[in-house]
Amino acid sequence: MAAAIPGIFSDELREAVLASKVLVVGAGGIGCEILKNLVLSGFSDIEIIDLDTIDVSNLNRQFLFQKQHVGKSKAAVARETALTFNPDVKIVHHHDSITSTEYGITYFKRFSFVMNALDNRAARNHVNRMCLAADIPLIESGTAGYDGQVELIKKGLTQCYECTPKVAAKTFPGCTIRNTPSEPIHCIVWAKHLFNQLFGEEDPDQDVSPDTADPEAAGDTAGEEALQSKANDKGNVERVSTRSWAQANHYDSEKLFTKLFHDDIKYLLSMDNLWKKRRPPTPLDWNSLPDGVAGSSKDGGDTGLRDQQQWSIAKCGAVFAESVKKLSLDFEACRQKSKTDHLVWDKDDTAAMDFVASCANIRAHIFGIPEKTRFDIKSMAGNIIPAIATTNAIIAGVVVLHAFRVLLNKLEDCKSVYLRPKMNHKNQLLVPEKCINAPNPKCYVCAKTPTAALAADVTKMTVKQLEDIVLKAGMNMVAPDVMIDGKGIVVISSEEGETEENNDKFLEEVGIVDGAILSVDDFLQNYSLKVTVVHRDKPAPNSDEPEFIITADADDLKPKEENNVLEKPSTSNGQSMEISPQKSDPGSAHKRKTESPADDTPSKKRKIEFSNGSDSDDDICVVESEPDNNSAGASSSSIKRKQVDDDDDCFIVDDENSDVYMATQ
C-alpha cells in the first residue's frame, strides 16, 4: 500500500494516514471508489455505512460488486471486496441508516474526518449538521453524468452544505395531471400515481380520476350531474376507490383499460370549458388499438434493444395487460402476508416499469403528446442522470487528495473542485475555486447564533404540520423540541406522548402568533435555533404561492419594494446568489406528495412534486449550472448565478427534492 512504501508520501503524511480513522457514508458508485482509494493509499482504520442493497443496475459502475452479490448489503460486500486488496486493513461496515439515533455526536467524534458519498438531501443535511456539531471535517462529493464536485465543510472555516438554497423540485398542478396533460412527464406522473392507486400505498392526493374541482372547468355541469345521479337514498354520494373497483373486477385488463382510457376520457370531454383552447383527447377502444409504429407491432417482429424501441399503442395495450396480470398476483401475495402490505414502485422491477411505460404512452397518445421509449420513460420516472464510472473514479480521487490535505491540517488548500464535461478556456476539466468560501453569516444551521423566520398562516397551520412538514421535512430535524420563547410553553416535545394533545390545534391556539419567537432544539443533532413566526395568509387553492416559507432572515419576507437585500458571494462555486424560494421534500424518500389545502375549499388545484425519491443509486444527483460565464446578474424570481471570476465558471452538484419553500441570503 502507498503509505507502506518509502518515498511515496512524506513522513508526516504517512504517519497521519496510518493514525487516522475514517468514516465513509455511502457505498454506491462514489463510495466504492473512495473505499478502494483509501485501502490502496494505506488508511488502516475505516468504517463504511449504507442502508442499500445491491441491484443489477449497479454492476456497470460499482466495481466492488459482482452478479453473485445482487440483493446483499452494499456496505458488507464493499468491505469484503476491499479486504482482498489489503487484508491488513480494519474495515467495519454498517448496514444501516446514518440518520439512526445510534450514530450521534459521540460516534462522529471518533473519526479524523468524514467522507460523504450520498444521493439524497435529507441524509446530506443530517451528516452536515453532525459534523458541525462534532467539529470534524466533512468532505462532500457528488456526480451527475460527466459533472462532479468535491468540497470541504469545516465549522467556522467554510460554508456548510445548507448555507445556500438548493434547486427547486419540479412541480405540476394536480388538475394538469388528472385533466389536461400537455407533456410526457405529466403522463408519466399520472401512470405512477395509477400504480399506487392499484397496487401501492393509496394516497388521496394521487387520485387519477378526472378532477371535477378543476377551477378551469368552472361552469361545467358534468361534475354536478355525476354527483346527483350517484346519490343514494340518504342523499349521499357513494364513492368507490380505484383499487376497490379494480379488485371487484378481478383486475380484468380490458375493463381497467376501458375505464381509464375510454370512459374517463369521455367524461373529460364532457367538461367543455377545458377544450375551448386545447386539442380534446381521443378515447381509445380496447378492440381497435392503433398499430402504426414501424418495427413495433402487436404481433412481434421488433428489432433492437427492447427498452429503446418505440412501442405502438397496440403493443402498449399488450404490455399493459401482461403487467397488470403480474402485478395483481404480486399484490395479492403481499396481502396474504399482511392486509396492510402493498407493492412499492421500483424502476428496476420489470412489471412495474412496463406498467408505467405502457400507461404513460397510452395516455400520451390520447392527448396528442409525443410518446417515449421505455428507456426514456424509465429515466424520467426515476429522474435519472446516467452515472458514469470514470466520473465517479475521478471525483473519488479528488476526495482522497482532499483527505491528505485535511490530515496535514492544510484546510485552506481544500478548495472546492468541479469536474466539467468540457474543457474551459484554460483547458481545465478539473476546475478549482480560487479560495475557500466563507460561511454564510445568516445560515440557520452553521451561523454562530442560528436564526430563521417562518411565514405561515397561524390560524390554519396545525402544530402537527409545524413539526412534520416545517421542522422535520423542511429543516431536516430528527427529534425537535419547541418552546415559545419568553413564555416557557412547550408546544412540541420529542418525548413520546408528552404533547400529543397539541397536534390538531392551530398555532394561534397554543400561543404561536405573529411575532412569536420559538426556541427550537434537536438534541440528536445537537442543533438549536430561534425561529421568528410571521403571519402570512394562506394562499388561494389555485395559487402558485407556497403554503409557507422558511428563510434565514425575517427581512426576506418583506415586500420587494421594502427588501433591499444585496447579493453576497456565498455559493459553493464562488458565485453570488439572490434569495429565491426553494422546495424541500415533506415525505419519505419513496413517496411523492401533493400540496393540498388544509381547509375544505372545493377548488383543489394542487401542485404535484416529481423528483427522484424512488431512486436509490448513491452516485446520482442533480447538477445545476449557468452556461454564460459573464452573466450580468441574478433574477429575483429564480435562482441565478453570476460569475465573479473566469476560473469559477463551474457546476454546483446537488440532489433532489421538496414542498417547503426555503431561502437563505
Active site residues: 175
Distances (CA, A) of 649 to 392, 411, 416, 520, 572: 21, 23, 12, 38, 11
Cell reading at 656: 433532489
What is d(CA 355, CA 472) in angstroms, rounded to the nearest whole number? 33
**Per-residue DSSP letter, 386:** P
- What is the spatial distance between Cα 406 and Cα 663, in angstroms, rounded to a whole number? 31
- 374 sits in the region (left: phi over 0; alpha: psi -120 to 50; else beta) called alpha
**What residue type is 542 in one-letter code?**
N
Cα–Cα dist 550/262, whole Å: 44
**What are the phi and psi torsion angles at 22 (to 5°)?**
-120, 140
- Three-class SS of 477-540: CCCEEEEECCCCEEEECCCCCCCHHHCCCEHHHHCCCCCCEEEEEECCCCEEEEEEEEECCCCC
- Report CA dihedral (642, 118, 99, 163) to the nearest 10 degrees: -10
- Which grid cell is 50? 449504507
Q: Which helix (H) or strand (E) holds 467?
A: none
Phi, psi (degrees; rounded to nearest 5) at 266: -60, -40
Mode of pairing for the β-strands spanning 661-663 and 549-551: parallel
Number of H helices, E strands in the chain: 16, 22
Q: How far apart are CA 292 and CA 203, in angstroms?
A: 36
Task: Give residues with Cβ within 8 angstroms of 489, minimum separation 6.
Answer: 483, 510, 511
